Amino acid sequence: MRQAHGVGAVRAGDAAAGAGLPGDPLMLRAAHGLARTCALLLDGTYGSRVVLLVGSGGNGGDALHAGAALALRGARVDALLLTDRPHAGGLAALRAAGGRAGSDAAVLDDADLVIDGIVGIGGRGGLREDAARLVAHAEATAATLVAVDVPSGVDAGTGEVPGAAVHADVTVTFGALKPGLLVDPGAGCAGVVELVDLGPAFDAALGAPEVEALEAADVAALLPAPTAESDKYRRGVVGVAAGSDAYTGAAVLAVGGALRAGAGMVRYSGPDLPTALVRRRWPEAVVGEGRVQAHVVGPGLGTDDAGLVRLRRVLGDGLPAVVDADGLTLLAGEPPLGGPLVLTPHAGEAARLLGADRADVEARRLEHAQRAARAYDAVVLLKGSTTVVAAPDGRVRVNATGTPWLATAGSGDVLSGVVGALLGGGLDPFDAASAGAWLHGAAGRLASGDEDGTGLAGGPVVAEDLLDALPRVRRDLA
């Protein structure tokens, strides 16, 4: 499991690891790791051209010391100083190694690699105009752009990007991941993230993580698996209240998501037209209400009085439930209902739940997911480029297994069924939402052929493709 720690915890780690030691050993260790990664990216340092973008403070010092190490290996290193107070020790080391410092941006034109050491983890707001101009110049060249610790202009603690920022190819971060490297829009600026270890004293001082990200082994350990004694009831029975005469496909997809994710049985209840389609596509689904372990309610439900009646009836029994789509619109005007809930809004739906602006939700995804979790005393799965899963007690996980190709009609209906199946199988809401998002994203990558999740590879998928991919994802995990 990847774990990200906030700025305060990282500073406590710095203090603990450096206590009682002369000089600046942590900076030198960080700079050594940065230089090593840059040398690998250059595929041979001798004769390469490296430019440092240097601000004041520790990040500038890291960049200068790394530049000195690269210069000693034969690189031509130029530092563009954006401050009249650069790190004195780093600047002296660079000059002693044969590097140069100045302000002529023309050195960017033939650079092979540019190191962003403008702003550190304490930075707030977008880049200043002079820095933004240099960054735009660097990004317009063919050089590989490497960020020091966190891309300048990205809020390390939240992932917010309030103005101009660096869009790095690689970010070399020190000691611990920062939330802003895992949560969009900041995560989208980080590129590939490499972590430099700063030692056990640093690690011991960090405390509990602020954000987690499940990996394949974590998901495999969480997923309920059948045993020799299992039957369909022990594997979990999921009730699905979805679809209407206007939105028939939502019922088919939500039921399919639950079945393909491992539910032992699905009970579907809805109007005649979607019922007929569910029966045709999923003959193993049982039509009609009955005993279940968890519910899925909302996809294609409609927001009229009939939809509200269905929502209240489903949530009235106090069982765990996933609420999605139209169910969220209806829930926004309701008093607290039912038992443990997983809400699965996209940014627009989260904005309605909170009475906020959609653009604000997109800009501050972590903050708004946590706000909604507290307001509704529910686990909130905020869908988007980076899915954020927030629990009312403050725990947060993010998921990055998805792909832009998942932005297609019906994808969210499948996700609601997947999370419902995991709830019915006995996972608590936080684990069900986290593992469900991971499975859904992995199925999207598999179905689209987009292995790295950037959207640059692969091709379009429709929601039914996810249903075919889900069993293969689970087999791969096993």
Residue 452 labelled as part of a binding site:
no
The Cα 264–Cα 112 span in angstroms is 56
Q: Residue 126 annotated as binding?
A: yes
> Is 230 within any annotated ligand binding site?
no
Query: ∠139-140-146 over CA atoms, to 5°?
Result: 25
137 has binding-site annotation: no
58 carries a ligand binding annotation? yes
Q: Is 59 annotated as a binding residue?
A: yes
Instruction: At 102, list the tokens.
Output: 């100045």
Query: How far apart (Å, rounded) are the C-alpha atoms in residues 218 and 227?
Result: 20
d(CA 452, CA 458): 10
Q: In degrees rounded to 5, what are phi and psi of residue 143?
A: -70, 145
3-state class (DSSP) for residue 3: strand
Q: Is the peptide bond before 185 cis (omega within 30 degrees of 0)?
A: yes
Kindly tell me the number of DSSP H helices and DSSP E strands found in the chain: 18, 18
Collapsing DSSP to helix, strand or coil, 191 comes out as: coil
250 is in an annotated binding site: yes
- Give residue 125's identity as a one-letter amino acid code: G
DSSP secondary structure string, 82-95?
--SS--HHHHHHHH
Which tokens is 143 given? 């050089």
Is 412 assigned a ligand-binding role in the annotation?
Answer: yes
Q: What is the CA radius of gyration of the chain?
A: 25
Residue 122 marked ligand-binding: yes
455 a known binding residue? no
Pairing relationship of beta strands 170-174 and 144-148 according to DSSP bridges: parallel
Q: Is 123 annotated as a binding residue?
A: yes
Q: For residue 152, say whether it is annotated as part of any ligand binding site.
A: yes
CA quadruple 310, 312, 315, 316: dihedral sign = negative
149 is in an annotated binding site: yes
Give the burial class of 393: count Cβ atoms within 10 A of its Cβ; 0-12 exposed, 13-18 middle, 19 or more buried: exposed
Query: Locate tokens 């994710």: which residue?
Result: 261
Residue 124 annotated as part of some ligand binding site: yes
Report whether 327 belongs to an annotated binding site: no
Retrieve residue 9's tokens: 């915890």
Q: At 141, is the secondary structure helix, strand, or coil?
A: coil
The answer to the question of whether 98 is labelled as a binding residue is no
The encoded tokens of residue 89 equal 């020790």
61 is in an annotated binding site: yes
Q: What is the DSSP letter of 124?
A: -
Known binding-site residue numbers: 58-62, 116, 120-126, 149, 152, 250, 300, 346, 383-387, 412-413
Known binding-site residue numbers for K(+): 59, 116, 152
Known binding-site residue numbers for (6S)-NADPHX: 58-62, 120-126, 149, 250, 300, 346, 413
Known binding-site residue numbers for AMP: 383-387, 412
